[in-house]
Amino acid sequence: MLASLVALPIVYAVAVGDVSDVRTSSGARTVVMALTVAVLLVEMIALAQIIRVRAMFSRGDTARLTWTLIASFLLVRVLCDMRLIAGFLNLFPAGGFNFLYFYTVSDLLFIAALTTTIRLYKGTGLKFEIKPVDYLYIAGAWAMAVATILAASYQGSATNFSSVTGYREVAVTVGGVIVSLGLVVRRYVSQMGGGAVARVWNTVVIASVARDASHLASLLVPIWSPRYGFFVDIYLRWIFAICWALAATYQLEIIPRAAVLREEVSPA
């Protein structure tokens, strides 16, 4: 999966060749379409993993709510991606971009998951603190949101919330909240000295930043590089998808060891 981060831009560059308008390039469209489907498949794998993680927690465990919300977040995203692909393939009647706001619904579910996680950590009675440098990172996330809104204004689509650009303004703002909360959780787990738990949430933060950055990149990169503007959004969403698959795998690696311990202590 990690090798794909290097391979994909190379494959895209070869597929695009020397065409002047990359949107008319069948090679470019094929690569982007294939990657869009791959993102969906990886998100489905991540969703299946997260459902397994959720099942490891008992009904009375507070963390079960967190993983239920994360599973719901990914489920709504998967459904949205299916709708998006169906639109690309003309399997759905053209009807504007308002359905994109279902991605916002999924983001709100993830915000709820992050909020419950923070409350969970605080509820342990351990002392978790945010460091001053974290506020710098959070400011960076909000700078990305501001830059996206300014870029949308520059393109003259700032107030049209039925357009893709309008949606991106909303998405990057909600994404700023997600990255901010994710950085708080990341700080909490880093105080655990790294290790298995930190690996999960560090990966989640990378996923959140990648997705938030995709909104800004989709507006700015086409200005600087029309050739790669068509590709960068889906590439960052690919990073988002594989990070979630990795985070789910890391979380599963923590919990099954409890099941192994149970077998060693009291085999059936």
Minimum distance, C-beta of residue 260 to other proteins, in the bound complex (Å): 9
97 in Cβ contact with 161 (< 8 Å): no
Helix axes 164-190 and 132-154, enclosed angle (nearest 10):
170
Q: Which is nearer to other proteins, 17 or 194 (CB)?
A: 194
Q: Which is nearer to other proteins, 79 or 252 (CB)?
A: 252
Binding site for other proteins (CB under 8 A): 56-58, 60-64, 120-121, 123-127, 191-199, 254-255, 257-259, 261-262, 265
123 to each of 63, 117, 185, 196, 221, how far by Cα in Å?
11, 10, 13, 20, 43
Q: What's the CA gap between 236 and 217, in Å, rounded?
A: 9
Minimum distance, C-beta of residue 117 to other proteins, in the bound complex (Å): 9
Minimum distance, C-beta of residue 190 to other proteins, in the bound complex (Å): 10
Q: Which is nearer to other proteins, 57 or 101 (CB)?
A: 57
Handedness of CA 40, 197, 117, 176 (dihedral sign): negative
Q: What's the CA gap between 21 and 39, in Å, rounded?
A: 25
Minimum distance, C-beta of residue 104 to other proteins, in the bound complex (Å): 29
Q: Which is nearer to other proteins, 110 or 201 (CB)?
A: 201
Q: Which is nearer to other proteins, 50 or 210 (CB)?
A: 50
Q: Which residue, among 80, 96, 128, has the nearest Cα to 240 in the 3D structure?
A: 80
Query: What are the tokens at 234?
Result: 């889906």
Q: What's the CA gap between 183 and 177, in Å, rounded?
A: 10
Q: Which is nearer to other proteins, 4 or 190 (CB)?
A: 190
Minimum distance, C-beta of residue 110 to other proteins, in the bound complex (Å): 18
Minimum distance, C-beta of residue 129 to other proteins, in the bound complex (Å): 11
Q: What is the largest CA-CA distance in the chain?
A: 68
102 in Cβ contact with 159 (< 8 Å): no
